[in-house]
Structure 1
Amino acid sequence: MNLPANKKIVTDFFNHLNERNMKEAFALLDDDLHWWILGNIPVSGDYDLKKISFGFKMIFRAFENFQFTLKEMTAEEDRVSVVAESLGIRKSTGKQYNNHYHFLFTLQEGKIRKVKEFFDTVHALWVESPEELETEVNL
């Protein structure tokens, strides 16, 4: 797989998510996917294809107008590095979610095989939290 093709697969993945074409997005993920999310919050940890697919579906149910914007992308060997931003409104709290990410994708045979996801976990907690936790996070 060449570098432009790998970058296109990752770009297509995000485009499908943004358009809510879940079947097409998840078709770009390898059956043996390993997706790791940074941190020590409820969404942190290891995900397989089934769990991450469910996770994305829940994100799109919980947020209004949730979108990813890709900012920078670099490819080398079998990896694609992406700096991205998300924007959406949490339905339950009305808070604007505007997070920043670094994703490191590893591709194999035209599929996304591994992902390491880094983002602002404090902001993620803030958008979920009751108002009293909001005060604690800002201290």
Structure 2
Amino acid sequence: MGKIEEQNKEVVTNFMKTFSTGNIDAFMEYMSDKATWWVAGTIEGISGEKDMKEFRAMNSGIAEGTKTGAITLTPLAITAEGNRVAVETESYAELNNGRVYNNIYHFLFVVENGKIEKVKEYLDTEHTRKVFLD
């Protein structure tokens, strides 16, 4: 694996560590201003493509519903090729409503010049819907 792939993996793993703290300003620093974040499925308010303003708003709302103000993301396996970083990930959060959010994801990150430009998030949408919306 080349130097650029190692650097891109580091950007993504640092993003996930920072995301897990709930510090939105800090994790947004990893994102390009023109970045997009796409979530699979048809979950109202969550699925579809978001620009960074919409992504920030969505995360602010989700964080308010958790006991720690964050969803912890734990990378399980990472593969990088060129500007693409694929990550199998597990999440965990205890919600204020007593529910536990523990999902499995596959993320595809596109990193350019040290910033995340694009993310595709594949997850168990039924679990997400049940925990956050039902």
Normalising by structure 2, we get a TM-score of 0.90
Where does residue 23 of structure 1 map in the other structure?
Answer: 25
Q: Following TM superposition, by how much is the alpha carbon of 1:129 offset from its aligned partner in structure 2, in angstroms?
A: 4.2
Where does residue 120 of structure 2 map in the other structure?
Answer: 116
Alignment of 1:1-139 (within 5 A): 2-42=4-44, 43-65=46-68, 66-92=71-97, 94-130=98-134
Q: Following TM superposition, by how much is the alpha carbon of 1:97 offset from its aligned partner in structure 2, in angstroms?
A: 1.0
- RMSD of aligned residue pairs (Cα, Å): 1.4
Q: Following TM superposition, by how much is the alpha carbon of 1:113 offset from its aligned partner in structure 2, in angstroms?
A: 0.2
Q: Give distance in 2, aligned partners of 1:41 and 1:23.
A: 25
Q: Following TM superposition, by how much is the alpha carbon of 1:70 offset from its aligned partner in structure 2, in angstroms?
A: 0.9
- 5+ unaligned residues in a row in structure 2: which ranges? none
Opposite residue 87 of structure 1, the aligned amino acid is: Y
Percent of paired sites with the same residue: 35
Return closer, same or farther for 1:51/1:129 CA change in 2, 3 Å cut-off: closer
Q: Give distance in 1, aligned partners of 2:72 and 2:83.
A: 26
Larger radius of gyration: 1
**Higher share in helix:** 1
Q: Following TM superposition, by how much is the alpha carbon of 1:37 offset from its aligned partner in structure 2, in angstroms?
A: 0.6
